């Protein structure tokens, strides 16, 4: 990667601070690679009608006093930093049994399927065993165990992405009728879409077929993790 120079001014003192230097490098690169294709568009100053006393004349509008040193497009391009891929903990590979540490499913032992593009982990209970559905979770909220389930035969459909889990947007404006019916609506139970049920089922059957061979492992996933007397998580081996 080409870099700009950052000459040293004195012993231990560089011309630019690390942040300023990084910014300059980024703009430099953006310029060099012509990502922004920053062309100097010869802007024709828009004309304006102005009155001088009684006479009306068409006059060119004043150009802005200060022109930015770096074109705006270049700046915009330079400030865009591609989100880096979230590194997965080494101990987590597809099939790893995870212990959920926080939230509604705290203590449940679940199976890791894959990492989504957002960096979140795609997990499943399986739902039939412990009630944890296909779900996303951050790796921070998880303890990775050394136990693994063979999930090579489990195929998660391509449509299960981050967008798949996004909540449906509700209509923000309420009609008058809807406002008064609000209480009724709250009583109604949230329905789970059929596609999700079907996806869950297909994943569950595949995993359960694998788990059928190991009764202890099935029981293991069924039971919750908790700390017993004299057990401290930092002393335990998972």
Partner 1 sequence: MISKFSLFVEIGRVVLINYGPLLNKTAIIIDVLDQNRVLVHGPTTGVERQIVNIKWITLTKLTIKVQRGARLASLMTAIKAADLDNKVAQLNLVKKITAASDKAALTDFARFKLRLAKSKVNKKVNNEVRKLVNEANRNSHKKMVAQKAKGHVKKTK
In the complex, the residues that contact partner 1 under the rule CB under 8 A are 97, 99, 145-147, 216-217, 219-220, 223, 225, 235-238
User: Least Å distance between CB 151 and partner 1?
Assistant: 16
Please give the structure tokens belonging to residue 23. 């910014």
User: Least Å distance between CB 107 and partner 1?
Assistant: 12
Question: What Cα–Cα distance (Å) separates residue 223 from each residue in 51, 107, 131, 202?
Answer: 84, 9, 11, 23
User: Measured from the CB atom, is 149 or 154 closer to partner 1?
Assistant: 149
Q: Which of 195, 197, 204, 193 is nearest to 124 (CA)?
A: 204
> Cα angle at 200 between 197 and 206, to 5 degrees?
140
User: Least Å distance between CB 103 and partner 1?
Assistant: 19
User: Measured from the CB atom, is 28 or 220 closer to partner 1?
Assistant: 220
CB 124 within 8 A of CB 132: yes
User: Measured from the CB atom, is 160 or 210 closer to partner 1?
Assistant: 210
> Cα angle at 133 between 104 and 169, to 5 degrees?
80
User: Least Å distance between CB 101 and partner 1?
Assistant: 13
Q: Which of 24, 40, 16 is nearest to 79 (CA)?
A: 24
Q: How many C-beta atoms lie closer than 10 Å to residue 142's C-beta? A: 21
User: Measured from the CB atom, is 102 or 163 closer to partner 1?
Assistant: 102
Note if the bond before 155 is cis, omega within 30 degrees.
Answer: no
User: Measured from the CB atom, is 75 or 108 closer to partner 1?
Assistant: 108
User: Least Å distance between CB 207 and partner 1?
Assistant: 16
* DSSP bridge partners of 143: 99
User: Measured from the CB atom, is 17 or 223 closer to partner 1?
Assistant: 223
User: Least Å distance between CB 230 and partner 1?
Assistant: 11
């Amino acid at each position: 990667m080409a870099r700009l120079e950052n000459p040293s001014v004195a012993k231990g003192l560089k011309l630019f601070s690390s942040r300023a230097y990084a910014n300059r490098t980024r703009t430099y690169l953006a310029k060099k690679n012509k990502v922004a294709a920053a062309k100097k568009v010869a802007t024709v100053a828009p004309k304006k009608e102005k009155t001088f006393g009684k006479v009306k004349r068409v006059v060119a509008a004043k150009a802005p006093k200060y022109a930015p040193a770096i074109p705006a497009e270049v700046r915009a391009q330079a400030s865009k930093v591609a989100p880096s891929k979230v590194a997965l903990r080494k101990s987590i590979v597809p099939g790893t049994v995870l212990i959920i540490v926080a939230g509604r499913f705290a203590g449940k032992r679940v199976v890791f399927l894959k990492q989504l593009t957002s960096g979140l982990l795609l997990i499943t209970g399986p739902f039939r065993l412990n009630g944890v559905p296909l779900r996303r979770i951050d790796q921070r909220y998880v303890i990775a165990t050394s136990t693994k389930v063979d999930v090579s035969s489990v195929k998660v459909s391509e449509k299960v992405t981050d967008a798949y889990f996004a909540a449906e947007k509700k209509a923000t404006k309420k009609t008058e009728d809807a406002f008064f019916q609000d209480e009724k609506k709250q009583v109604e139970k949230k329905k789970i879409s059929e596609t999700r049920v079907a996806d869950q089922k297909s994943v569950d059957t595949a995993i359960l077929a694998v788990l059928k061979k190991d009764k202890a492992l099935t029981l293991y996933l069924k039971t919750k993790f908790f700390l017993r007397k004299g057990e401290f998580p930092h002393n335990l081996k998972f």
